[in-house]
Amino acid sequence: MALEDYRNDMETCRRCSACKFIPLEKVKGFQLVNVCPSISRYNFHTYSAGGRLVNGVALLENRISFSDKFLEVMYNCQMCGACDVSCKYAMDMEVMEPIYETRIKCVEEGHTNPVLDKVINSLRKQGTMVPGARAKRGDWAAGLDVKDCTREKVDVIYHVGCLTSYDKDMRKVARAIVKLLKKAGVDFGIAGNNESCCGGRAYQMGYKADFLNQARKNMEAIKKSGAKTLVTGCADGYQAFKVLYDKFDLKGSLEVLHITEYLDRLIKEGKLKPTGKVKMNVTYHDPCYLGRLGEPYIHWQGKEIPGHIRVFDPPKEFRRGTKGVYQPPRDVLESIPGVNLAEMDRIKEYAWCCGAGGGVNESNPEFSRWTADERIKEAEATGAEALVTACPWCEKNFSDAVKTSGSRLRVYDVVELLEKAI
């Protein structure tokens, strides 16, 4: 699909501003009703989903061009999907899809952000979206004696992800996952230096061709491994494998699970028994690409039926974030003795973004930090000692924010706490 194919969706926008707020049924007070970091930070309607859709049509009609301002607005969006959820409370129209297509169109027509170009260069050359050499990707696993899925048949592939592999502060998450999977007796392997980026973040940034390139390479490798299940601890990776690969008919029958889904299953099957007490008051942050955007892709081919109400033949089921992964991470936390979970105000399908996604982390670190700071304040207000999440990008952004803001919050991944309990 191209931007033109979403014209009807974009023109269905009613300018109601729902995209700026959490679903209105959920509003419990004055504070914390905003759900879109972009308009919350920059205030012009332009930065909201509604503004982006109007501009999407304007672009098609050559009323505006790929100016610097256009690119600035377009790239100052974490692609978190909150607008999509809030809009689709009432409306049958795509919101994120045309926003993705706008970025893709930008890239295809040569209008890019040089900072993001640099990231993509790294992807093309080293197979990673973070600085690092391909040859060093597997270094985190040194001494862990993990099967190499490029050489041995395994049931499960653990796809580590770029940030977890290369960032020294995040490697502990990978090591914790390995420990837990081994403890549960899972037959799993990693690709080590042969692992390559899922491509999901490249897609978010609009580099569709590069994403497809990565996707095809990865699926070839996965098929060769014989693995039926892929597990990842990165929300971006999860959404890429589960949703995007499926969208482009590349996933096949591969079962894709986020590590929290898998651990939840293992705990419920009795294969992991968290018995050690971890006395901690925590709050949980739903990563966008695990939660609302982690909902399975829905294949649909059909057409809009001309008429006075927007219905389709065959009936089209819209993805609205309803079936994202919200409960498994919570169930894992609940299973850890001593952990008390206090929820923030904006959670699950209307969680506030950590700030790192969509290329913002790279192209506008100040905005990324601002977004994270907002979430830190929200987490602190729960009285929790720790902010727990299930994505390395979220964890890293929060950790960095906590350091600079002087907050006393500690930041963990779910698996780190589970590791302590096993």
Residues lying near other proteins in the complex (CB under 8 A): 7, 10-18, 21, 23-30, 33, 43-46, 50-55, 57-58, 61, 63-64, 67, 69-70, 73, 85-86, 88-93, 306-311, 315, 317-318, 320-324, 326, 348-350
For residues 394 and 57, give the distance between their C-alpha atoms in angstroms, rounded to a whole number: 32
Q: In the chain, what is the greatest distance between 2 CA atoms, to the nearest angstrom?
A: 64
Helix axes 259-268, 171-183, angle to 10 degrees: 30
> What are the structure tokens assigned to 262, written together?
């898998």
Contact between 131 and 166 under an 8 Å Cβ cutoff? The reply is: yes
Q: Is the dihedral of CA 132, 136, 137, 140 positive or negative?
A: negative
DSSP code at position 240: I
The nearest distance, CB 307 to other proteins, in angstroms, is 6
Name the minimum Å distance from CB 338 to other proteins.
26
The least distance separating other proteins from the CB of residue 308, rounded to whole angstroms, comes to 3
CB of 365 to other proteins, least distance (A): 18
- The tokens of 381 are what? 């207000």
Supply the minimum distance, in Å, between the C-beta of residue 298 and other proteins: 12
Percent of the chain as helix, strand, coil, to the nearest 5:
50, 10, 40
Whose Cβ is closer to other proteins: residue 17's or residue 335's? 17
Return the residue matching tokens 């993705």.
Answer: 100
> Measured in whole angstroms, how far is the alpha carbon of residue 81 from the centre of its chain?
9
Contact of 76 with 360, CB cutoff 8 Å: yes
The answer to whether residues 232 and 388 touch, using CB atoms and an 8 Å cutoff, is no
Residues 6 or more apart in contact with residue 151 via CB below 8 angstroms: none
Q: Which is nearer to other proteins, 86 or 165 (CB)?
A: 86
| For other proteins, the closer CB: 18 or 332 | 18
CB of 88 to other proteins, least distance (A): 7
User: Nearer Cβ to other proteins, position 40 or 214?
Assistant: 40
Residues near 18 by beta carbon (within 8 Å), at least 6 away in sequence: 24, 86, 87, 89, 90, 91
Provide the minimum distance between the beta carbon of 73 and other proteins in the complex, in angstroms, as a whole number: 6
Tell me whether residue 143 or residue 315 sits nearer to other proteins (CB atom). Answer: 315
Q: Burial letters for 69-91: b for 16+ Cβ neighbours within 10 Å, e otherwise? A: ebbebbbbbbbbbbbbbbbbbeb
Instruction: Name which of 48 and 193 has its Cβ closer to other proteins.
Output: 48
Cα-based distances in Å from 175 to 49, 128, 181, 369:
39, 19, 10, 27
Peptide bond into 315 cis (omega under 30): no
Note whether 292 and 84 are within 8 A (CB). Answer: yes
Sign for the CA dihedral angle at 352, 320, 301, 5 comes to: negative
Q: How far is the CB of 62 from other proteins (least distance, A)?
A: 11
Indicate the residue among 46 and 214 with the shorter CB distance to other proteins: 46
Q: Which of 133, 166, 294, 184 is nearest to 174 (CA)?
A: 166
Q: Which residue in this structure is represented by tokens 């890019």?
A: 112
Complex with other proteins: residue 248 or 297, whichever CB lies closer = 297
We find the least distance from the C-beta atom of residue 348 to other proteins, in angstroms, to be 6
For residue 227, the minimal CB distance to other proteins (Å) is 30
Q: How far is the CB of 411 from other proteins (least distance, A)?
A: 25
Which CB, 210 or 349, lies closer to other proteins?
A: 349
Question: Quick one: 41 or 410, whose CB is closer to other proteins?
Answer: 41
Q: Looking at beta carbons only, is 21 or 211 nearer to other proteins?
A: 21
